[in-house]
Structure 1
């Protein structure tokens, strides 16, 4: 969602301030589960009432929004359905995320992975190798289990209770190392922690002696993938873990803003 200062920053560099404000209104509506009134939009966006009304009226004429006459709330319009489907068909998370993931690899000097969920697994889209000596089994096109990987647990943390129940009922929790959690309740506790912290940990659960910190890429309730930093366990200490977590969360924010 655009904040007022974000709109002003973009306006200084772009042509067409009305388009920028219209996009900000769309983002604002997408971040709310139900429609919003004119008052709620212009106050929430800190835009003048007259300007907001003009933009909303134009967007309704274009079917980008529609207004419920009973409660006077504005909702996303049908025209966005086709646009959204085409955008998803053309969307390439790899292309968007890659520059930021390269920066993360260079900053951490560790291996960085990008993945997406496919058939209850994480499939690798990218692997950026560490410049330091390390030998990880992962390869592009390879797959990880959700329950015992950093990217996988980050993805599980975005799911509803029903989706999680279906996942656990359909997938055996086999131990891959002596550190792998195979108890559903214990994994659910980890998932709760991931939701609170915004990142996930794989402490030698998927590959012995490999420690991973991961997070999900999500915007407007749409999950686009996940990424992680993987390091040999012997190179990890408390201070380094905190530093990598900070870099991972900063990278997450940059990519989500670029989506």
Structure 2
């Protein structure tokens, strides 16, 4: 893996300013990190413009408000994952299929946990990987249970790309599905992202009553369909227990 020098410099600026809550000037940042002053000026200016840094009257820079939002989201992910893992393991033992947990990151799905079964199907989904919302069970769970305004914004931004013959390629079909999923309490991915893979997914709600994560079970379509009722029951039970464990409730 190659290291991106500019990305490393951004991280070093954040780490330095975290140790100086009163802020530092561009000159001081440049000196402490041994960065050229001209490139440091451009780097800091960009971070300030994007809201990751803030500036006071003395031209000193401190960590900005956007980092609070990102940090809070990271804490939520860690908490939900830590609380959810024991329940996910129980779910995997019960259904004998691969189990996932994911969160929403802007307009994509990010996997934060995966519990494999000894007969797990091969899949590209791994912790840290990202996937679209419209063609995954986890993603469609978010679209089905997010507040209306946020859901509509995400729907308007979707650029449909075909992954399999089953991939939904238009907004109307997707919206019709989401209404059904919202009513029944769980979402389905029927070979829409990967050939042969059938997925059932359910929402996890936070203390504000809004969806914070989604969990799923996935396996070969034929095997999943023969046990769909049992798997769905255990999936919904597990989602409810994780919701309860993080102090959440269904709005």
TM-score, normalised via structure 2 length:
0.65
Q: Does 1:230 align with 2:204?
A: no
Deviation per residue, 1:2-39 (Å, 9 max, x gap): xxxxxxxxxxxxxxxxxxxxxxxxxxxxxxxxxxxxxx
Mapping for residues 68-147 of structure 1, pairs under 5 Å: 90-91=75-76, 92-147=79-134
Which of 130, 149, 152 pairs up with 2:139? 152
Return 208-217 or 156-165, whichever deviates more. 156-165
**257 and 162 in structure 1: CA distance in 2 versus 1, 3 angstrom threshold:** closer
Unaligned runs of 5+ in 1: 1-85
**173 and 90 in structure 1: CA distance in 2 versus 1, 3 angstrom threshold:** closer
Is the Cα–Cα contact under 8 Å of residues 111 and 129 in structure 2 kept in the other structure?
A: yes
Q: Does 1:204 align with 2:191?
A: yes
Give the aligned partner of residue 55 of structure 1.
Answer: none
Instruction: State the Cα distance separating 1:89 from its structure 2 match.
Output: 7.1
Distance 1:141 1:89 in 2: 13
TM-score, normalised via structure 1 length:
0.63
Root mean square deviation of aligned Cα: 2.0
Is the Cα–Cα contact under 8 Å of residues 101 and 213 in structure 2 kept in the other structure?
A: yes
**169 and 89 in structure 1: CA distance in 2 versus 1, 3 angstrom threshold:** closer
Classify the secondary structure of the residue corresponding to 2:162.
coil
Give the aligned partner of residue 209 of structure 2.
Answer: 221
Unaligned runs of 5+ in 2: 1-70, 247-251
Aligned pairs, how many? 174
**107 and 165 in structure 1: CA distance in 2 versus 1, 3 angstrom threshold:** same
Instruction: State the Cα distance separating 1:87 from its structure 2 match.
Output: 8.4
Give the aligned partner of residue 165 of structure 1.
Answer: 152
